[in-house]
Each structure stands twice: as structure tokens, then as C-alpha cells.
């Protein structure tokens, strides 16, 4: 029977190999006695190694992320004691790129033949990045909920100092919470990229209006920034930054005291927008211990990663000064 006949077993093998390649499955076998690996072309491509007939665990370990190396070595050694299928996920480094690999096979010597254990490698980078994104989103949502509860308490205390009757307090607190709701809408992107860009000053004023007694421009919160438009993506990120700074001020800084003042000033050029957040008249503040909490990480990630800028803190005795240096092109996006 000619080899071209599709009923020939070798033809079926070739079809299976094509299917494995299409699915991104890389094949490997591990000779336990010599600690050497045999891999197919896809596996060498996955690991970023030149094709070779003599690959050891040490060759592969040069690509494994240092934080995962001991765990991977111990896991491979322990696979012979595992009953049934096993799966080991770990990171490898290809230059600056981090890639997630899943090694799968059968333990308890079920996959052992002639001193060799066989299995597959899969690139699961996309899945791992999605999992990390979900964890980040869950952490951010938890942080926002805690912030909103803290803001509600702070606004209640703030309102009680400026009113004399229960009816006045209820009315003013309702107005503040309504304003907070409008401000919170700016902290989330609109579905389908609806809506238009906001003016920088209007954006900041709306976000800070719940914390002011007489309005964002005439009370203890003053806003004086360049007149410029902000794109939808940048508006959402900048709103999150202002919301986080206001929450911290309401809990620990100038907005927590009736005598506190908040001044937001800005300057702009074609190359740089600088916004200075200055708190005065509140309690003494001190820099956070260690690396800071989730809110601090959220601020740095938002400003540097999404706005292409920097954020700096000056923990002066009179009150904190926060300086945002932003890219005008990113703000327009």
C-alpha cells in the first residue's frame, strides 16, 4: 500500500502530529537515569532553545524563573509518586518576556516506558495573565468598596460639623452622597466608549464637590488648572487617582478636619502637565511604613502605567503635597 494512501498508519501519525502542532502542544520525554530531555520542534520553540539532541534539566532550568526553579525541580522529581495525571505550571524567562508553561503527564510510573517519562508542554501565558487580571480586579473592587464605606463615614462626620438640626444634616448629607454618586460614575469607563471628553478642571471639581461646603471653586477646596480636554480613557484613570487622593485626605489629611484646606493647581506645556495637590490645616501626616498599601500601589500603577507620568509625595509637617507629572498626549486619549 503506498504511503500516500490516507488509510496507512503513518499517514494517521502525520495527521496527529499536525493536530498537536495546531493545538500548540509540545512533546517531551525525560530519561530519568541520565536526566536528559528529548523534545520536538515545538518544545524547542516554546523554550527559546536551539534544537539539540542532548538537552538536560539544567539546560531548561536556565530559562525557568528563579522564583519557580526549586518548586519545578521538586515537582518533576515527585511526579513518579503521583497517582494519575499531574500538571505543573511555572514561568520561564525569554529575555524580557515572561512566559507561563504547563507541563503535563502521568505519574506513579504510568507514563514510564524504557526508563523514560513522557508528557507535553503547553503555553498557558494567556490564561495566567487572565487569572492575574481577575485577581487584580477583585483586589481593586474590594479596595474601592472599603473606600466608599470610609467616605460615607467621613462625609457624615463632616456634615455633622456644619449643620445644627437633623433635617439640615439629612438634606446636606443627601446632597453630598448624590454628588459622590455622580463623581463615582466618572471612576468607571462607560460601556462602548460612550460619552465625550471632559475638561480637566470640571473633572476634578465634580470629583471633589462632595467634600466641600460651598462648592469646588469657592470653599475650602480650590481648583486652578489649565483649560484642556481629557479623553475618555484618561478621564477614567485620572478620576480614579483623584478619588483615591480625596479618600486618603478624608481619612487622614486636610479633609478630615474642619480647618483643612485643599488646593489643586496646575501648569501645562506641549510636553508636560503638572498638577500639584496641596493639603494644609489638617492633622500631621507621615509617610506610610514599608511599601505602602493597596491604594498606594494603585496610584503608582495608574499614573505611571496608564497616564505615562509620575507621582511624588512630600510629607511636610503642614500637610502632604502630591505632584503629578503627566503626558499631554496620554491625557487626550
Query: What digits encode the pLDDT tens for the residues 79-113?
Result: 666 666 778 888 888 887 888 888 887 766 555 55
Q: Supply the pLDDT for residue 214.
A: 46
Question: Which residues, in sequence order, are CB contacts of 282 under 8 Å at separation 6+?
Answer: 249, 253, 254, 255, 256, 257, 259, 260, 319
Q: Supply the pLDDT for residue 313.
A: 93
pLDDT tens digits, 316-329: 888 999 999 999 88
Dig out the grid coordinates for 307 from the structure. 497616564
More confident site: 199 or 215: 199
What would you report as the CA-atom Rg of the chain, rounded to the nearest whole angstrom? Answer: 29
Q: Supply the pLDDT for residue 190.
A: 45
Report percent pLDDT > 70 for the chain.
72
pLDDT tens digits, 150-171: 767 766 776 676 677 888 778 7
pLDDT tens digits, 25-81: 888 777 767 777 788 888 888 888 888 777 777 778 888 888 888 888 777 777 666
When mean pLDDT is compared across 37-41, 166-170, 189-193, 198-202, the lowest value belongs to 189-193
More confident site: 68 or 15: 68
What does DSSP say about strands 261-268 and 273-280: parallel, antiparallel, or unpaired? antiparallel
Q: Supply the pLDDT for residue 40.
A: 84
More confident site: 286 or 111: 286
First and final C-alpha spacing in the chain? 65
Range 131-144 average pLDDT: 72
CA angle 97, 102, 104 (to 5 degrees): 155
Q: Supply the pLDDT for residue 263.
A: 94
Q: Supply the pLDDT for residue 195.
A: 39
Q: b/e string for 37-55 if b means 16 or more Cβ within 10 A?
A: bbbbebbbebbebeeeeeb
Range 280-298 average pLDDT: 78
Q: What average pLDDT is seen over the chain?
A: 77
pLDDT class of 267 with cuts at 50, 70, 90: very high
For the chain, domains (ranges, CATH) are: 9-123 (3.30.450.20), 129-331 (3.30.565.10)
Report percent pLDDT > 90 for the chain.
11
pLDDT class of 1 with cuts at 50, 70, 90: very low
Amino acid at each position: 500500500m503506498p504511503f500516500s494512501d490516507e488509510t496507512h498508519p503513518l499517514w494517521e501519525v502525520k495527521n496527529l502530529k499536525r493536530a498537536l502542532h495546531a493545538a500548540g502542544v509540545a512533546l517531551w520525554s525525560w530519561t530519568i537515569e541520565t536526566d536528559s530531555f528529548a523534545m520536538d520542534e515545538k518544545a524547542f520553540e516554546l523554550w527559546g532553545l536551539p534544537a539539540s539532541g542532548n538537552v538536560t534539566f539544567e539546560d531548561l532550568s536556565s530559562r525557568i524563573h528563579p522564583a519557580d526553579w526549586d518548586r519545578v525541580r521538586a515537582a518533576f522529581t515527585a511526579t513518579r509518586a503521583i497517582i494519575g495525571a499531574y500538571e505543573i505550571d511555572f514561568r520561564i524567562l525569554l529575555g524580557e518576556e515572561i512566559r507561563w508553561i504547563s507541563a503535563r503527564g502521568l505519574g506513579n510510573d504510568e507514563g514510564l516506558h524504557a526508563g523514560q517519562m513522557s508528557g507535553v508542554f503547553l503555553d498557558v501565558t494567556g490564561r495566567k495573565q487572565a487569572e492575574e487580571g481577575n485577581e487584580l480586579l477583585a483586589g481593586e473592587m474590594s479596595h474601592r468598596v472599603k473606600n466608599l464605606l470610609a467616605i460615607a463615614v467621613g462625609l457624615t462626620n463632616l456634615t455633622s460639623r456644619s449643620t445644627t438640626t437633623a433635617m439640615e444634616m439629612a438634606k446636606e448629607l443627601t446632597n453630598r452622597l448624590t454628588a459622590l454618586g455622580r463623581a463615582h460614575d466618572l471612576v468607571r469607563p462607560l460601556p462602548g466608549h460612550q460619552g465625550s471628553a471632559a475638561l480637566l478642571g470640571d473633572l476634578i471639581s465634580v470629583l471633589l464637590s462632595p467634600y466641600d461646603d460651598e462648592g469646588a471653586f469657592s470653599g475650602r477646596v480650590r481648583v486652578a488648572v489649565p483649560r484642556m480636554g481629557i479623553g475618555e480613557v484618561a478621564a477614567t484613570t485620572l478620576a480614579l487617582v483623584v478619588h483615591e487622593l480625596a479618600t486618603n485626605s478624608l481619612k487622614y489629611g486636610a479633609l478630615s478636619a474642619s480647618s483643612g484646606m485643599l488646593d489643586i493647581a496646575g501648569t501645562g506645556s506641549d510636553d508636560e502637565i503638572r498638577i500639584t495637590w496641596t493639603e494644609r490645616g489638617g492633622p500631621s501626616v507621615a509617610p506610610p511604613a514599608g511599601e505602602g498599601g493597596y491604594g498606594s500601589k494603585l496610584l503608582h500603577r495608574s499614573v505611571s502605567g496608564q497616564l505615562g507620568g509620575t507621582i511624588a509625595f512630600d510629607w511636610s509637617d503642614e500637610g502632604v503635597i502630591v505632584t503629578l507629572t503627566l503626558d499631554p498626549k496620554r491625557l487626550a486619549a
